[in-house]
Amino acid sequence: MSLPYVLTLVADRRNGPLAPEAIDVARSLVRGEKPIVLSPGEAVDIPCPPTVANAATIRATLAPYQTDALLIKTRGRRKAVLVADMDSTIVASETLDEMAAILGVGEDVAAITRASMNGELDFDTALEQRVALLKSQPASVLEDVWNATRLTDGARELVMTMRAHRARTALVSGGFTWFTQRVAELCGFDEHHGNHLGIDGNTLTGRLDGPILGPDAKLEHLHRIAAERGVQLKACLTTGDGANDIPMLREAGFGFAFHAKPNVRKVTDMQVNFASLRAHLFAQGYKAADFITQ
C-alpha cells in the first residue's frame, strides 16, 4: 500500500545538483522510504507516513542545502487548474517597475510597488498612484520593456505540461493586458487577464481603463475557472509572489509562494524559495522526462 504523503525535494539546477546529504537528512526527518528520482540531480520524491515534523521545520532544516521541501498528500496530487501571477512569477521582472525605470520615475514607482507587495498599501490605490506617474509619457516604452522581458525558468514547461494533461491554465495579473497577452501567447496559457493601461494615440494617459484587477478579482477568476472546469478548489494550483496573490494562494489546493515576499510566505507552507517553476510540476509528481516545452 502506498504511503499517504510524499516529501518532494527540489534544487535549483542552475546552482548545482541536489545534495545526497539533503536527501538523507530529509528521509530521517519524515521517516521516509527510498527516494524516487523525478529528475537526476534536481528533484526526488520521498514517500512517507504522516509525520510529526511540520512543513516549516522541514523547510528550515533543508534551507542550508538551498533545497525546497514540499510535504504533499499523495491523493489528488495532480491539479486540473493553473492560475498564475505574471510579474516576478511567470516573467522574471516587474514590468511596471521596468517601464518606470526607463521613463526616469523608477525609484518613486518601485517604492510604491514594494509597499503594495508587502501589504503595506492598498493594491488599488498603489496601482493608481504608480500609473499616474506615467502620465504623458511615450507609449513606445511598452515595446522597450517587452524586448527586455524574460520568462522565468520553467514557465513554458509548467503551462504546456499541465495543458497536455487537460488542465485549464490562466495568467491573472495585477499588471497590464498589453503584457499578459504577449506572455500568454508565449507560454501557451488558455486565457489571460490584467489591467487595461490607458493609451491615447502614442501617449500614456496616466489612468487605467476599466475596473482594477486586484486580489479579489484574482480569487474570483480562480473560482470561475474551477467551476467551468468542473472541479473543486482543492484540484487547483495557484502561484504568485505578492500580497495581491494571497487570497488565491490560500484557497487553492496547491497555493505556491514563489520566491515570494515575507508576508506571502507567512500564509502558505507551499513555498518555492530556491528552485524554478519546474518545482510546481515535481510537486504534482511529474518527472522531468514528462515535461513538455513545445
Report pLDDT for 121.
84
- Residue 122: pLDDT band with limits 50, 70, 90: confident
Mean pLDDT of 187-207: 97
Q: Which of 12, 45, 85, 245 is catalytic?
A: 85
Say if CB 188 and CB 162 are below 8 A apart.
no
Mark whether 45 is an active-site residue: no
Sign of CA dihedral 273, 275, 280, 286: negative
- Residue 116: pLDDT band with limits 50, 70, 90: confident
pLDDT at 290 over 60: yes
Q: What SS3 class is residue 240?
A: strand
Q: What domains appear along the chain, each with residue ranges and CATH number? A: 1-75 (3.30.70.260), 78-92+151-294 (3.40.50.1000)
61 burial (CB, 10 Å; 0-12 / 13-18 / 19+) is: middle
pLDDT at 189 over 80: yes
Report pLDDT for 44.
98
The overall average pLDDT reported for the chain is 95
pTM over cut 0.85: yes
67-73 β-sheet, strand order: 36-39, 43-48, 5-11, 67-73
- Residue 110: pLDDT band with limits 50, 70, 90: confident
Report pLDDT for 120.
83
pLDDT at 16 over 60: yes
Mean pLDDT of 170-192: 98
Report pLDDT for 2.
81
Mark whether 87 is an active-site residue: yes
Mean pLDDT of 225-243: 97
Q: Which of 12, 45, 68, 87 is catalytic?
A: 87
pLDDT at 1 over 60: no
